[in-house]
């Protein structure tokens, strides 16, 4: 695009959203740099619409000029999907001004909310009315509902409530042509042809822009109790998970595992946190039970589970939070791992899923393969064991240059891990998506038939390839 064209284009954008909401100058790194600091892109402009109509008109203006758009929410994504490339030709479409909770329908157990609403704001609004919005992740103070939907985010409550997809009953969105699609029905049953919401959920901004959603709420449980236990192995953690399902049934709302090295990073970088069981035991587990009867009932169930598990030997030691602040402190340990790992330095992340029953063997074999090929590499292993989802991450050997490690070892380490994932019939992205970071890997690991179908959908919905064109697919 030539400069005069560019000025004309920018003034068209300004006339849609107002000049203060078209950013082109100054420090734009909040929009151009991804959370993990993997890539610093360059935006043609950051555009901040206030409502769906403005989104539609911005998309029309971009499509008319064949200018690419990168939708962005809280920019907390893990796979470099929400930031522009380095060309200076892509518009970042930031949804963060669209934060309204449009309607809370208590009888229908639904809430309709705009895409830029921060997850925690929605959780708190539901709680105020006596409801639970169960999506929960460590980035909840800054990630947005639009981003959660676009990545089909998981988090720590999936074992009971499912991924974001399972929480969504309807969507409003803007197509790549700039048309508004209103699908905010809030219906639990609707078999009138293709279920379009499921195309947009998990599409990472490549098919259109999500502007609002109708989401499920749940009655707030009377009690939510948290326990923290140390276990001698991943086999023991899996055994404990099986016992927890039996004892707690649908009351089991969270089951996370944390390797001792991951926990040591929390101790190192956040020394004010008290991390229990710092001993030799290789893994700890944090688990949560929700109960609609009473706290005494929940405590009885949890204590019975832990007694059985201690007797069986799969749990070595355990604590149950006495109150909400203790529960929060235990969860905070788990949630601090990604931040502690980021402070330790650049690292190689894997967000994989495998059948729960096969996880111990996977980790044993893959740890051994990495140790043999990359002596000293440190395994930061933690994740949502209840969902079979591990963050099987690798940190540079102690005292070495993390940047050089990432540059030189990311590919060979990815190759080892993803070959193992294939052997175990797993997925190379359980919850973070593909973004730009994993698109090469998607091309290698997804079946050609599945990739062909995905490309056909992309071509049909976004024929000019203007919607987040660098994400998911290789050019
Ligand atoms: P962004 O990062 O802004 O965008 C993510 C993707 O969605 C991009 O491709 C973007 O183009 C697209 N997008 C954003 N908004 C829209 C929209 N309105 N319409 C269309 N496309 C859009 N993820 C998990 O799944 N589970 C976790 O437990 C988890 N924990 C995390 C913990 C930390 C500390 C951090 C930093 C991240 C974590 N994440 C986790 C990753 C991230 O928070 C989620 O992927 C989240 O859903 C992204 O939301 P966001 O608003 O920040 O989206
Ligand atoms: C988590 O479970 O903590 C997140 O998915 C973030 C991460 O993997 O770093
Ligand atoms: Zn996660």
| R_g of the chain computed on alpha carbons | 23
Please tell me the predicted confidence (pLDDT) of residue 195.
Answer: 96
90's CB contacts (< 8 A; 6+ apart) are 41, 43, 44, 67, 68, 69, 70, 84
Please tell me the predicted confidence (pLDDT) of residue 367.
Answer: 97
Ligand 1 center–CA 23 separation, angstroms:
22
Q: For a pLDDT cut of 70, what percent of the chain falls above it?
A: 99
Q: Is 109 in the pocket of ligand 2 (CB under 6 A)?
A: no
Q: What is the pLDDT of residues 288-345, one digit of tens each?
A: 999 999 999 999 999 999 999 999 999 999 999 999 999 999 999 999 999 999 999 9
Ligand 1 center–CA 147 separation, angstroms:
4
Written as one string, the DSSP assignment of 288-324 is EEEESS-HHHHHHHHHHHHHHHHHHTS-SEEEE-SSH
Which stretch of DSSP H or E encloses residue 261?
Answer: helix 260-269
Full set of structural domains in the chain with CATH: 6-94 (3.30.43.10), 101-219 (3.30.465.10), 223-338 (3.30.70.2190), 345-423 (3.30.70.2740), 434-465 (no CATH)
Q: Is 144 in the pocket of ligand 1 (CB under 6 A)?
A: yes
Mean pLDDT over 102-123 rounds to 98
Nearest CA to ligand 2 atom 2: 383
Residue 173 pLDDT > 80, yes or no? yes
Please tell me the predicted confidence (pLDDT) of residue 279.
Answer: 76
Bridge-based pairing state of the strands 252-259 and 283-291? antiparallel
Residue 165 pLDDT > 90, yes or no? yes
Residue 4 pLDDT > 90, yes or no? no
Q: What confidence tier does 280 reach under pLDDT thresholds 50, 70, 90? A: confident
Q: What confidence tier does 2 reach under pLDDT thresholds 50, 70, 90? A: low
Nearest CA to ligand 1 atom 41: 77
Instruction: State the DSSP code for 221.
Output: P
Q: Is 471 in the pocket of ligand 1 (CB under 6 A)?
A: yes
Burial of 149 (0-12, 13-18, 19+ CB in 10 A): buried
Q: What confidence tier does 1 reach under pLDDT thresholds 50, 70, 90? A: low
Mean pLDDT over 134-157 rounds to 98
Please tell me the predicted confidence (pLDDT) of residue 236.
Answer: 98
Contact (Cβ atoms closer than 8 angstroms) between residue 231 and residue 306: no
Q: What is the pLDDT of residues 75-90, one digit of tens each?
A: 999 999 999 999 999 9
Measuring CA to CA, which residue among 386, 430, 421, 135 is closest to residue 257? 386
Ligand 2 center–CA 391 separation, angstroms:
7
Alpha helix (H) residue ranges in 18-154: 29-32, 52-65, 119-128, 145-151
Q: What is the pLDDT of residues 15-38, one digit of tens each?
A: 999 999 999 999 999 999 999 999
Q: Is 49 in the pocket of ligand 1 (CB under 6 A)?
A: no
Q: What confidence tier does 399 reach under pLDDT thresholds 50, 70, 90? A: very high
Average pLDDT, the chain: 97
Closest atom of ligand 2 to 338 CA is 9
Question: Strand, helix or coil at 404?
Answer: helix
Distances (CA, A) of 304 to 248, 312, 369: 10, 12, 39
Q: What is the pLDDT of residues 412-445, one digit of tens each?
A: 999 999 999 999 999 999 999 999 999 999 999 9
Contact (Cβ atoms closer than 8 angstroms) between residue 79 and residue 432: yes
| Weakest-pLDDT range from 256-265, 271-280, 389-398 | 271-280
Closest atom of ligand 1 to 77 CA is 2
What global pTM score does this model have?
0.97
């Amino acid at each position: 695009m030539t400069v005069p064209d560019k000025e004309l284009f920018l003034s068209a954008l300004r006339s849609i959203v107002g000049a203060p909401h078209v950013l082109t100058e100054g420090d734009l790194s909040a929009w151009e740099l991804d959370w993990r600091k993997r890539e610093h892109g360059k935006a043609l402009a950051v555009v901040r619409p206030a409502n769906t109509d403005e989104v539609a008109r911005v998309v029309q203006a971009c499509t008319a000029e064949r200018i690419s758009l990168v939708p962005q929410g809280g920019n907390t994504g893990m796979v470099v999907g929400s930031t522009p490339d380095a060309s200076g030709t892509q518009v970042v479409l930031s949804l963060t001004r669209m934060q309204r909770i449009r309607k809370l329908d208590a009888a229908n157990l639904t809430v309709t909310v705009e895409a830029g609403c921060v997850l925690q704001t929605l959780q708190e609004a539901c709680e105020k009315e006596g409801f639970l919005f169960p999506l929960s992740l460590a980035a909840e103070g800054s990630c947005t509902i639009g981003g959660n939907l676009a990545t089909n985010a998981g988090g720590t409550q999936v074992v009971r409530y499912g991924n974001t997809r399972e929480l969504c009953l309807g969507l409003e969105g803007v197509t790549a042509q700039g048309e508004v699609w209103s699908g905010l029905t809030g219906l639990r049953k609707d078999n009138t042809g293709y279920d379009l919401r499921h195309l947009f959920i998990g599409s990472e901004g490549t098919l259109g822009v999500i502007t609002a959603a109708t989401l499920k709420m749940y009655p707030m449980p009377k009690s939510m109790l948290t326990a923290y236990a140390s276990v001698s192995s991943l086999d023991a953690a899996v055994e404990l998970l099986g016992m927890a399902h039996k004892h707690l049934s649908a009351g089991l709302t969270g089951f996370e595992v944390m390797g001792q090295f991951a926990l040591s990073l929390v101790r190192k970088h956040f020394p004010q946190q008290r991390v229990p069981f710092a001993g030799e035991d290789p893994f700890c587990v944090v688990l949560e039970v929700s109960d609609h009867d009473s706290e005494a009932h929940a405590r009885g169930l949890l204590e019975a589970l832990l007694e059985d598990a201690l007797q069986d030997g799969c749990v070595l030691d355990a604590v149950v939070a006495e109150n909400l602040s203790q529960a929060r402190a235990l969860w905070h340990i788990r949630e601090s791992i990604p931040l502690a790992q980021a402070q330790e330095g650049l690292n190689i992340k894997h967000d994989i899923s495998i059948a729960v029953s096969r996880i111990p063997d996977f980790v044993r074999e893959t740890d051994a393969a990495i140790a043999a090929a990359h002596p000293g590499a440190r395994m930061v292993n933690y994740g949502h064991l209840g969902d079979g989802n591990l963050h099987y991450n690798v940190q540079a050997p102690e005292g070495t240059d993390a940047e050089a490690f990432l540059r030189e070892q990311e590919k060979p380490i990815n190759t080892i891990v993803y070959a193992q994932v294939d052997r175990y019939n797993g997925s190379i992205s359980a919850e973070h998506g593909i973004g730009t970071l994993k698109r090469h890997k998607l091309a290698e690991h997804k079946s050609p038939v599945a990739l062909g179908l995905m490309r056909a959908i992309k071509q049909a919905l976004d024929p000019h390839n203007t919607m987040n064109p660098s994400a998911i697919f290789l050019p």
